Amino acid sequence: MKIKQDYVSDQFHQVYFTFSAREMDEIIQDVLAAHGLSEREAKRKKKYISELVMEKIEEEIIEREIMNLDVIPIYGRKFRYLTRIHPGNPLLVICQFCILPSDLKIDFPPKIPKKILEMSHVPETVRTIVRQILIENGEYAYKNGEVAKKGSIVICDIVYKRDDYVISEIENQEINLNNVDQPECALFLNSKVGDEIVLDDETSVTVVAKVKEIKNLAVNRLTDAIVKKLNFLNTKTVLEFNKKISDIITFSGTIVVLLNYLAEYALESGSIEFDEYVLDFFMGNEFAPNGKKERDRYLEEVKRDLAKEYIIWLINLNNSNIDPAYMDRIYEEYELDKMLFNNPMRIDGYQEFINRHAFEARVLQYCIDNKIIDKTN
C-alpha cells in the first residue's frame, strides 16, 4: 500500500491510499473468511461484499495508518473511491479530514462563575433514567387503558376500503407506540377505543385502523429488592441507587456544560477560526440542510463541536494529570451505559469509551488546576 499526504492547510488534510491488485485480493479473501462466505456467494452478493470490504478498509486499515501520520486528525472522515472494488483490481481511495493546527493557541476565561456549572434538572433526569432501566430489565406490565400514549400497545383492525365497500380486513394488529417519532405511530397517540384512524387515503383505496383495545405501559416502582437484583455498583437501597445515578450524571453533565462554555468563549474571542476547507468539508456533506436558517444553525453547531475538539486535544497534548476519582466516575458512567442498554456482559468499545471520557475529564482537571473553576464534588 502506498500513502501520499496532501497538506491542504494547517486545519485540513487529505491522504491518498493506493492498494495493489494483490493487496485487494488479500483484503477480499480476509473479508470472505471473516464472514464465512464462499466465492460463489461472493459473486451473488457483490454489493454486500463491497460494503464489507469498504468497512474493513476505512475502519481498520486506513484508520490505523491515519493514527501513525504526523498530524492529529480531528472530527470525522470523508472517503472517495476513485476505482471500483473488484478482485484483480487495484484501488485508489482519498481520505479527507480536519486536523489540529500545529500553532494553535486558545483563550480561556480567567474564571467561570460557579452557577454556570450548576445542574438544574438532575432529579427529572434521574427519574427518566431509572424508568428506562426498569423497562430494559423487564420491571413493567401492560394494563388496559383508555387513552393511548407513548409506550402503549394499540390493538386494532386494519380495513382497506373503497368508499363504503370493504376490500379486505386484517384483525388484531398490534401497534407499539415506543417510537412516536415514526409518523404511523404518532397517528395513534391520544387515540381511544372505538376511534377510527385514517392511515392512508392518497389513492382510491382508504386504509383505516379501528382501535379495539389499548394497553398502557405501567412501570414497577423501584424497590430495595429490585435494586439488589439489578446489582448496580454495589448499591443496595433505592436511596443509594438514585444517588449513584445522580452523581454520575452530575459529573458527566458538568463536563458537557464546561466544554460548551469554553468553546463559545474561544469562538467569541476569535482565538479559534476555521478556514474555507474545513467549512466546505461540512457544508458539502449529505447531512447539511438546504434552508438558509437551518444551514446557519448547522454551521454554528459544527463550529462549536470543532472548537470543543480543539480544546480537548490541546489540553490533552500538554497535560496528563487526572484525579483518580474522575477515572472511577468514568468507569461508573460506563456501567450505567451498560445498564441502560440491559447488556451486563457488554465489553465492546470499553477502552474507547474510557479513553474518550478521560480526554474530556482532563479538561475539567485543567480548569480546576488553573483555578478557572472551583473543584467540583
Query: CATH number for the domain including 186?
Result: 3.10.50.30
Instruction: Note whether 212 and 238 are same-domain residues.
Output: no
User: Do 275 and 349 lie in a common domain?
Assistant: yes
Q: What percent of the chain has pLDDT over 70?
A: 96
Could you give the 3-state DSSP secondary structure of residue 163? coil
Bridge partners (DSSP) listed for residue 79: 95
Percent of the chain with pLDDT over 90: 67
Residue with the bigger pLDDT between 180 and 260: it is: 260
- Answer whether residue 249 is part of any domain: yes
Single-letter code of the amino acid located at 11: Q
Q: Give residue 341's pLDDT.
A: 73
**What is the pLDDT at residue 376?**
66
Task: Indicate the residue type of 162.
Answer: R
User: What pLDDT digit, counting tens, does each position of 199-242 carry?
Assistant: 887 778 899 999 999 999 899 999 999 999 999 999 999 999 99
Say what the pTM is: 0.80
What is the CATH classification number for the domain harbouring 24? 3.30.70.1050
Using a CB cutoff of 8 Å and minimum separation of 24, what contacts does 104-109 make? Answer: 104/272, 104/310, 104/314, 105/271, 106/266, 106/271, 106/272, 106/310, 106/311, 106/314, 107/265, 107/266, 107/269, 107/271, 108/262, 108/265, 108/266, 108/367, 108/370, 108/372, 109/261, 109/262, 109/265, 109/372
User: So what's the pLDDT on residue 347?
Assistant: 58
Structure confidence at residue 342 (pLDDT): 59
Of 200, 219, 238, the last residue of a domain is: 219
Range of 236's domain? 114-134+224-369
Question: What pLDDT is attached to residue 261?
Answer: 96
Query: How many structural domains comprise the chain?
Result: 3
Q: Is the pLDDT of residue 288 over 90?
A: no
Q: Per residue in 12-70, pLDDT tens?
A: 999 999 999 999 999 999 999 999 988 888 888 999 999 999 999 999 999 999 999 99
53 and 74, same domain (yes or no): yes
Question: What is the average pLDDT value for the chain, to the nearest integer?
Answer: 90
In a domain, 104, yes or no: no
